[in-house]
Amino acid sequence: MTATSTPIDIHTHIVPASLPAYVGAAADIPWPSIRHTDACHAQVIINGKNFRDIDDACWSLERRLEHTREMGIGIEVLSPMPELLSYWLPAKDASVLARYINEQIAAMVQAAPERYAGLGMVPLQDLDLAIEELGHVVKTLGLLGVELATNIDGKPLGDPAFDPFFAAVVALDAAVFVHPLRPAGMDRIVGPRSLEAVLAYPCETALAIGSMITGCVLDRHPKLRIAFSHGGGGFGQVLPRLQHSWSTNRALQALVPHAPAETARRFYYDSLVYSETSLRFLIELFGVTQIVLGTDHPFGIMEKHPVARIDRLALPERERALILSGNARRFLGLDPS
């Protein structure tokens, strides 16, 4: 992956064409499987029910290339479908699943390294196993980092308990991409389950970023490179409230040594907000150097014309190049600066 100007999409997902059968000892475990309905379509089955309908763009490089050419994307960063992160499984079982999916992603990257990079997954419900798998992901498979969820089976990402893992991430010079999963607040939504991604994900992501700031994670791991999906969800609207409270609340200042607005501009945020108005807001709030291209390909909520949306902002060429490629290269550790 040598080109420095080709558009890089950091937010894309894969689901393998098949998953290994469960061979562990637990009973009634929600182990995922794939049920093919025809040559190009399948279902992800969990607990005997259809979790999601998928098509061959989830596992076929040929199909993905068709889509990315239409979208104007040069390089995709592949990561697992978030539900596959499986923090609710017994840790050793989750480790087996993680190893299989990581090797599937690595094989896809190796088949077309000029078009793909990869982020793996780890069983973060067990720190030792997670750090072990992180080493395999980066050192053995050559992936650039990992995808994490906004919460680890209910525990916020900013919890100090995860410090040893983040220290390992920094030591390996790896990147972290954060995606919402099993969000809080679903009991407050009126309507179909599909509204989870529409209404609950943005709130969940805002909570996760808030936990990273009030948990002072970057103070302990200043070299951590971490990006949040969906433009950081609703955090852009939450940040001014947090900043105002911090500026007037001495107890919060004692807990959080740096201004939240300052820390927020050290994270990366993808461009997946579906609106030029929202995208301009993110650029102003977080800085043009912190926005990276993201589409959620190949799922139904994906942005189909990401480069065109950036172009409609009519940014100076240097800023356009940063959002399309330069910031992603820095986030992924491909550029030393």
Residues 223 and 180: their CA atoms lie apart, in Å, by 23
Residue in 181, 165, 166, 255 with CA at minimum distance from that of residue 215:
255
pLDDT of the residue at 2: 46
Residues 18 and 36: their CA atoms lie apart, in Å, by 9
Question: Over the stretch 301-328, which tens digit does the pLDDT of each residue have?
Answer: 999 999 999 999 999 999 999 999 999 9
**Reported confidence tier of residue 233, pLDDT bands at 50, 70, 90:** very high
| Token reading at 162 | 């995860």
Classify burial at 60, counting beta carbons within 10 Å of its beta carbon; exposed 0-12, middle 13-18, buried 19 or more: middle
Question: Over the stretch 60-115, which tens digit does the pLDDT of each residue have?
Answer: 999 999 999 999 999 999 999 999 999 999 999 999 999 999 999 999 999 999 99
Residue in 7, 13, 47 with CA at minimum distance from that of residue 27:
47
Type of residue numbered 103: E
Contacts of 247 (CB under 8 A, 6+ apart): 259
Mean pLDDT of the chain: 96
CA distances from 24 to 60, 128, 190, 286, 330 (A): 29, 19, 38, 45, 40
Cis peptide before 257 (omega within 30 of 0): no
| Token reading at 330 | 């820095």
CB 244 within 8 A of CB 185: no
Complete domains list, the chain, with CATH: 8-20+62-332 (3.20.20.140)
Type of residue numbered 81: M
**Reported confidence tier of residue 5, pLDDT bands at 50, 70, 90:** confident
pLDDT of the residue at 107: 98
Place of tokens 């999916």: 101
Contacts of 167 (CB under 8 A, 6+ apart): 221
Checking if the pLDDT of 22 tops 60, the result is: yes
Average pLDDT value for residue range 223-231: 98
Average pLDDT value for residue range 268-292: 98
CB 251 within 8 A of CB 220: no
Average pLDDT value for residue range 32-44: 97
Residues 31 and 302: their CA atoms lie apart, in Å, by 26
| Token reading at 225 | 């490179």
